[in-house]
């Protein structure tokens, strides 16, 4: 197990290095001069040049990247060009809010998605099956920001049941969680159904049913465990989708997380903050995928890491 972990960590390092290169280049392709954005439209050319020199933007790209990589190897994500605060502090202040939203959405998506998939597979070609899969197709097709606005219109503006945005109480978490989890619920439900239907065709499932076992026992004790491998894979991938979807969700619901910070940083051309958030997202996604790989061995005893 330890050798496998070391090998996976070694493979993750080039991936994270590639992320730093791509983000560093892409953020600099955005039109606009960061120094002019920070200084303001009324600032003089001399003031703009002073800010550009202060931020190191007058250096060649390879020199700027070398400085960024040198700081990163020291555990320093840099300093925000707008607030002049360390990027690690900017991210740390908002990491809890994003983690809370992503984890709640992942739990909701996994529980509801797997439950819907199990029900749909157990009642194949029934009205319930078609209804669940139709709702799942609807969930895949809805943009998260549109769903968020519709939820606010219904539950906040018309019914006055839940707050339209903000952060602080469990009530503020409900609408963002539902909006963010909708896409993942649909994906997990459809994959759970297809995996279970494939397992239902195996001999041991037919034997269990021939012995007179209840459908609930056959599905939960015999079939589901063997259908979990692809479901676990997509759950890990959907966590990355939730992190990217949090950017729109947090902006829609004024949720003070890293996604909203990222949008503001892109608008302000705050390169260090954008680079830092993208790298944190990449590290989280890598760790989650590694955790999912390790869970395979607990779900299926035939899988060994040596």
> How high is the pLDDT of residue 306?
61
The CA radius of gyration of the chain, in Å to the nearest whole number, is 24
Domain 93-299 has CATH 3.30.2010.30: no
Start-end of CATH 1.10.3720.10 domains in the chain: 93-299
> Per-residue pLDDT tens for 70-80?
888 888 888 88
What one-character-per-residue DSSP string does 42-86 give?
T--HHHHHHHHHHTTTTS-HHHHHHHHHHHHHTT---B-TTT-SB
Can you count the helices (H) and strands (E) in the chain? 13, 0
pTM of the model: 0.82
Bin 166: left if φ > 0, else alpha if -120 < ψ < 50, else beta. Answer: left
Q: What is the mean pLDDT of residues 23-35?
A: 82
> Per-residue pLDDT tens for 280-297?
888 888 888 888 877 777
Model confidence at 112, pLDDT cuts 50, 70, 90, reads: very high
Burial class (CB in 10 A: 0-12, 13-18, 19+), 156: middle
Q: What is the mean pLDDT of residues 108-124?
A: 89
């Amino acid at each position: 197990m330890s050798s496998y972990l070391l090998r996976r960590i070694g493979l993750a390092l080039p991936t994270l290095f590639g992320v730093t290169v791509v983000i560093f280049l892409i953020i600099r392709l955005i039109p606009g001069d960061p120094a002019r954005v920070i200084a303001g439209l009324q600032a003089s050319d001399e003031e703009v040049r002073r800010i550009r020199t202060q931020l190191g933007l007058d250096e060649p790209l390879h020199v700027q990247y070398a400085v960024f990589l040198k700081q990163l190897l020291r555990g320093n994500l840099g300093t925000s060009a707008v607030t002049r605060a360390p990027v690690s502090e900017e991210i740390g202040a908002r990491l809890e809010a994003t983690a809370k939203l992503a984890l709640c959405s992942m739990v909701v998506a996994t529980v509801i998605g797997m439950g819907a998939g199990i029900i749909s597979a157990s009642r194949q070609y029934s009205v319930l099956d078609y209804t669940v899969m139709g709702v799942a197709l609807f969930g895949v097709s809805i943009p998260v920001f549109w769903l968020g606005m519709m939820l606010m219109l219904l539950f906040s503006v018309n019914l006055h049941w839940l707050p339209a945005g903000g952060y602080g109480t469990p009530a503020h978490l409900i609408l963002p969680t539902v909006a963010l989890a909708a896409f993942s619920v649909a994906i997990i439900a459809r994959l759970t159904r297809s995996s279970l239907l494939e397992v239902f065709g195996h001999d041991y499932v037919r034997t269990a049913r021939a012995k007179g076992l209840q459908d609930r026992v056959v599905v939960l004790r015999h079939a589901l465990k063997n259908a979990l491998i692809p479901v676990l894979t997509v759950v890990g991938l959907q966590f990355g989708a939730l992190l990217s979807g949090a950017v729109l969700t947090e902006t829609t619901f004024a949720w003070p997380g890293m996604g909203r910070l990222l949008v503001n940083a892109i608008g302000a051309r705050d390169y260090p903050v954008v680079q830092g958030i993208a790298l944190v997202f990449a590290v989280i996604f890598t760790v989650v995928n590694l955790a999912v790989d390790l869970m395979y061995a607990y779900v299926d005893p035939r899988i060994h890491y040596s």
